[in-house]
Amino acid sequence: MNKAKASSEKSVSASSRTISLLSQLEKINSDSVLGESDSARHVTSRILHLVQSQEKTRKEMTSKGSTGIEIILSTLENTRDPQTILNILNILIEIVSVGGGRRASVLVTKGGTQILLQLLLTASKDSPPNEELMVLLHTLLAKVGPKDKKIGVKARINGVLNISLNLVKHNLQNHRLVLPCLQVLRVYSTNSVNAVSLGKNGVVELMFKIIGPFSKRNTSLMKVALDTLAALLKSKTNARRAVDRGYVQALITIYVDWHRHDSRHRYMLIRKGVLQCIKSVTNIKLGRKAFIDANGMKILYNTSQECLAVRTLDPLVNTSSLIMRKCFPKNRLPLPTIKSAFHFQLPVIPASGPVAQLYNLPPDVDDVVDESDDNDDAETESEIETEIDDDKDQHFKNDDIETDINKLKPRQELGRSIEELKMYEQFFPELSENFQEWDLVSKEPKPFVPDANLSGPIVVPTASEEHSAEAKPSTKGIALKECSPLLTEEYNRRPVFLELPKKDNMKSSSLHQQNDQRNMLPSCQCLSQEIVKGLDRISLQNSAKNDQYYGTGCVVEKESKAGITTLASSKPFEHVSPCGGSLFEGSSVQLGKLCCTGVDSEEEEDSRSSSSGEHATLQISDVSPVHDCDLYLEMVKNTKSIPEYSEVAYPDYFGHIPPPFKEPILERRYGVQRTKICQDIERLIYQNDIIDRVVYDLDNSSFSVPEEADVLKFNSKFESGNLRKVIQIRKNEYDLILNSDINSNHYHQWFYFEVSGMKTGIGYRFNIINCEKSNSQFNYGMQPLMYSVQEALRCRPCWTRVGTDICYYKNHFSRSSIAAGGQKGKSYYTITFTVTFQHKEDVCYFAYHYPYTYSTLKMHLRKLESMHNPQQIYFRHDVLCKTLAGNSCPLVTITAMPESNYYEHIYQFRNRPYIFLSARVHPGETNASWVMKGTLEYLMSNSPNAQSLRESYIFKIIPMLNPDGVINGNHRCSLSGEDLNRQWQNPNPDLHPTIYHAKGLLQYLAAIKRLPLVYCDYHGHSRKKNVFMYGCSIKETMWHTSVNAASCDLMEDPAYRALPKILSHTAPAFCMGSCSFVVEKSKESTARVVVWREIGVQRSYTMESTLCGCDQGKYKRGQ
């Protein structure tokens, strides 16, 4: 009969057997009959056998819908039989040992943690406790614990915290029992309250007994003990206890012992565990001091340098680097004050806000370095970084999203009376102009045909369309509309840096004559050595003397106008080539030495051949037809700066062309950031090697530039320049400090400065040490820009991306939380890059992005005004208002002239919809101005698409909302020390005149029922790639909140997405995926939101253009 029974059991599947056994076990639990312990022991033993031998059984027990775990746990909770308990614990260990954390999570959700803790408490009352039971219980708790976020609280409530600790104390030599107990203590210690409680009971001292003198025995136990200690030391109380007992020195000694004896790198996890303990204990100020006192910086530096050769030891090097950076003593910036070096007295001091706080700061408060135990600056980047895009526009915080529908619904609120708004009527003469006195294309009345484009889609041009069809004719047509085809061909062959019309009233005959003369010259090398050696930096000074300029070998004096700005020169040129004369002919300036040694003689031949090769590929379309050197100087003389700049940067005077090659995003070399950080740490360890010499200082008016030949010379005293101080650290390494925005003590990001006195073949390292943003595209392939005067004299006047070993990281300089306005992030960041110069004694300019000055804008507007065809294009240039410094804020109107002064044509002209554009509210976002420049030139071009746009719309454009900030080298603010793009809700006419009047223009249009069809504010983005837009939508805002979607069940015209969609299909650099239409509370006072909400413009946008490059489309991987 037994044989028959055995054969029948074999025929039953394993699944059926498991179900059968679980059913039997469930019945035993429900019956609770005395003497059933043997049956439970027998059943659990058979289940254990199945679980150990078959993975299918383990899966079935934890599958969805299975009650296997509940039955097992119920049995464990109710049984008192020791063998049954051991069987069940072994079953659960087998189940959770494989299959990842999912099975452990199932056990937690079924209440397993609580049952295990209760069993531990019961078992601990036995004297002595059952060792096998304790081992199994702790083993299971160590596996389940990490999946139960509340296990620390549960352990404390159940009173089992010290059970594991006491087991370790009394069984130190029993490694089989101690190991799982330590694993459970590690889990408990993730709860800070538990860590403190365990610390009071001597757990820290106990851990040091285990990890104590170096020994390669029981390394698995030591590894767990180190992990447990690292978790315990995250508690400040435990960390202080460790410091008081001298354990920081002990940890360093243990690490050095393992470093020396682990020559084959088999125990890297133990070495990393020791470093993790050091990292935890140095989170407090006492720990960092103890680390420094124990010579920890030098020890970790030396050990990490020895590990660099072995790639697998990178985790040790990276952790050592984090510890050293954290323990590097915090220093204040080497400045008398972190407030701007320039002061501007405001007409009104705001009652609140950052400027009011700045004016109310106690003396020298920004000299305080805050090294609190909170150590908010402890976190640092790892070597293999992932892109942290902390832009709030994309990664929304729920508490920042506006959830009040009443606030989200646009409501037209003019805020000013109609009578007051009438002051803006003068800026809209096109609404009343009858054109009776204008010389129109045709004065004969023509049948009126309604413009099909009037209500049609907005036509958005693209670069590809222009180049393939109309670009060249339209671009040249603006500048050379008077020229014959032969003259145009001749003009194209002129040297690149001469392809600029010198005077607005240039005649064709004079152009022919000049072109013929220039075409006889062999190349741009016509600038002789004598000219170049005599050139100096262009400087401006108000003078009543006569202006001089140099013609062909002679000095010509011209009658000076009042207040004209002249250029300083040391001596006249004795030998000037014809090319040199033509370059400066007609100029009202003097030119001194632009380059100390001029064109290097040994490079002349190569340069001549290379420049001629590149020259052949450069057409006039590459050079902006609106740049005029003489006109630029005329514009500069009326530009008012706070420092009263007297110099002009060569790139701004001379202009530039795009480089004749693509500039890909820089591939970052592995380990570069780690190397730079190690070099910074060397400053503390080897202080005698540091020069620490100031070589440029705006704060010291009597400072003189060093004369030594091996020291670089710096300068930033020109429009839009920003460089405050330079300190030579090593022979070829310099720390650079940027100037704060005026009337502010922060916003450091924009830089623009001049460097000279360099040598070739030497890598110069530049560290800009007071940046503030937590991340930058410099970590992801962006390079700074450099303009070489030597290259410009070789017909290559280009801003090019340069620099190697580029990275952006947190440094050891900081400011107090008071000076930071209560901000948590008190540390500064470093941009570091290395440059090897091509030419000896060159003069080079570095910039964060392509500079675009206020004087450049004025020059461009003047040229556009003089070059347009008044019979076809209605162009008007007004002054909207004066800024705080007295500079003019330009307002431009562009549309097409009516076909005639016939009534229907005038009517169509006056009733064209408005498009309102603005740019450059943030001075450091220079790319916004370049996008605006392209917009203006396109709208003024002869392209059929541009003509269609002009005939369909009236464009009101404010190309620079923050002239003062641009002029004075600010990054974000105006002279008021405030971000103007946060003042649109309630602009102050005295402090924010450009915003007050820009909003007034829009309010006036709303008052006369002529709301713009589109408002778009151009910006630049420093942490994201591509071009994208931010708009405003009620529904899309609500979708990002927890508010019920039904609460915003309203009709919303999706037209706000139309323009971004058009751009995504026509512009290769535009990324629809980066666009957002969410309205946030923190952005409620920006132009985009206010124009949408208060003015009522549905299509109100911020257009962001990357400062780096693209990661999609035809421009992918390019800068």
pLDDT at 624 (0 to 100): 61
Distance CA 984, CA 1093 (A): 11
* Spatial CA neighbour of 1000 closest among 992, 432, 910: 992
What torsion, rounded to 10 degrees, do the Cα atoms 703, 708, 710, 713 define? 30
Spatial neighbors of 386 by CB under 8 A, at least 6 apart, are none
* Spatial CA neighbour of 736 closest among 747, 725, 744: 725
Residues of the chain with pLDDT under 50: 1-12, 34, 367, 370, 372-397, 443-623, 1046-1047
Distance CA 739, CA 970 (A): 8
* Spatial CA neighbour of 325 closest among 288, 354, 357, 356: 288
Q: Are 865 and 628 in contact (CB under 8 A)?
A: no
* Strand partners of residue 875: 894
Residue 381 tokens read as 């980047």
pLDDT at 182 (0 to 100): 95
Distance CA 757, CA 149 (A): 62
Q: What is the 3-state secondary structure (H, E, C) of 212-258?
A: CCCCCCCHHHHHHHHHHHHHHCCCHHHHHHHHHCCHHHHHHHHHHHH
Cβ burial 86-106 (10 Å sphere, 16+ → b, else e): bbbbbbbbbbbeeeeeebbbb
Q: Are 238 and 206 in contact (CB under 8 A)?
A: no
Q: Is 900 in a helix, a strand, or coil?
A: coil
Please provide residue 541's backbone torsions phi and psi, each rounded to the nearest 5 degrees: -150, 135
Residue 197 tokens read as 């409680």
Residue 965 tokens read as 């900030």
DSSP secondary structure of 739-781: PPPTT-S------EEEEES--TT-EEEEEEEEE-SS--GGGGT
Name the residue type at position 771: C
Which residue stretches of 149-218 are H helix?
151-157, 161-170, 175-188, 192-200, 203-211
Angle between helices 247-261 and 268-281 (to 10 degrees): 160
Q: Are 1005 and 989 in contact (CB under 8 A)?
A: no
Gyration radius (Cα) of the chain, Å = 37
Please provide residue 555's backbone torsions phi and psi, each rounded to the nearest 5 degrees: -105, 125
pLDDT at 63 (0 to 100): 81
Distance CA 465, CA 461 (A): 7
Q: Roughly how many angstroms between the first and final C-alpha of the chain, as a whole number?
A: 85
CB atoms within 10 A of CB 765: 19
Cite the active site residues.
Answer: 1104
**747: left (phi > 0), else alpha (psi -120 to 50), else beta?**
left
DSSP secondary structure of 1008-1058: TT---SEEEEEEEESS--SEEEE---HHHHHHTSSS-GGGG-----GGGGH
pLDDT at 570 (0 to 100): 32
pLDDT at 403 (0 to 100): 61
Name the residue type at position 380: T
pLDDT at 404 (0 to 100): 67
* Strand partners of residue 548: 557
pLDDT at 365 (0 to 100): 58
